[in-house]
Amino acid sequence: MGLLLFVAGLLGSTAPEFSLFTPDGRMWRLADALREKPAVLLHAGDCKETVTVPDSVRLLAIRPSACGAYRDPSGAARRYLGQAKAVLLDREGIVRMVATGHLKTFSREVAVWARGSEIYTAQCQRCHGTDGKDTHYSGIKTLAGIGKRITRAEIIERTIHSGLVDLTSLDAEARRALAAYVAGL
């Protein structure tokens, strides 16, 4: 139960600022890494443990120093992750997904999230805003925290039944991707 509470606390939280060292020894602030694109922060126990990410997402894999990967000498990133194996951070440093189980499953979900991000930006952001909190249009409700209240399937179902949004142009996989993205808002 403690791990589930920890994970629930991470989702939607903002990662603290900390510095990592790149494989070539340069210091890199987390905010600088996120400026270009979202990132997966992975605390790997060995050199082989990894997460596959699409090109639109950066992988910040903290591994033992013998692996020649990102290093976290202060331990700030490891402390932040706690029991989580990895987190997906958007460009603002907000946690959108948390990996507690198999990294292969998490890798697939990150790819789905990235596709959902593209769909959201193209079709939903105008009314809901970049963070899902915009409610200036009539009948629009905030999407912030929706993934903590209802399932992804319910997100799709309620969107369709609201009558305000037409999802007929999206196939089942695109709807699933959009729901994965929206669930993390």
Please give the pLDDT value at position 178. Answer: 95
Burial group, residue 25, by CB count within 10 angstroms (0-12, 13-18, 19+): exposed
**Which residues, at least 6 apart from 49, have a Cβ–Cβ distance to it below 8 Å?**
42, 63, 103
Q: In what order do the strands lie in the sheet with 58-62?
A: 58-62, 39-43, 86-89, 95-99
**Domains of the chain: total:** 2
The pTM is what? 0.83
Q: Are 79 and 99 in contact (CB under 8 A)?
A: no
The CATH number linked to 170 is 1.10.760.10
| Segment 91-109 mean pLDDT | 89
Of 175, 34, 167, 166, which is closest to residue 112 (Cα–Cα)?
A: 175
- What is the pLDDT at residue 83? 83
Do 67 and 132 sit in the same domain of this protein?
no
Amino acid at 51: V
Domain end: 86, 102, 118, which one?
Answer: 102
Residue 54 in this model has a pLDDT that exceeds 90 = yes
| Rg over CA atoms, the chain | 17
Domain shared by 91 and 137, yes or no? no
* Strand segments (E) across 36-101: 39-43, 58-62, 86-89, 95-99
- If DSSP codes are grouped into helix, strand and coil, which group holds residue 174? helix
Identify the pLDDT of residue 71. 87
Residues 17 and 39 in one domain: yes
Same domain, 93 and 113: no
**Three-class HEC string of 141-153:** CCCCCHHHHCCHH
Look at the block and give the residue holding tokens 């105008």: 126
pLDDT category at 4 given cuts 50, 70, 90 is: very low
Residue 91 sits in the same domain as residue 176: no
What does the buried/exposed string (b/e) look like for 87-101 if buried means 16 or more CB atoms within 10 Å of the residue's CB?
bbbbeebbbbbbbee
Per-residue pLDDT tens for 131-163? 889 888 888 889 988 888 899 999 999 988 887
Which position has the higher pLDDT, 176 or 6? Answer: 176
The predicted structure's pLDDT at residue 8: 53
| Same-domain check for residues 97 and 23 | yes
* Residue that finishes a domain, picked among 45, 70, 102: 102
pLDDT of 2 above 70: no
Residues 6+ apart with CB under 8 A from 94: 12, 13, 14, 15
DSSP secondary structure letter of residue 16: P
In terms of residue numbers, what domain contains 32?
A: 2-102
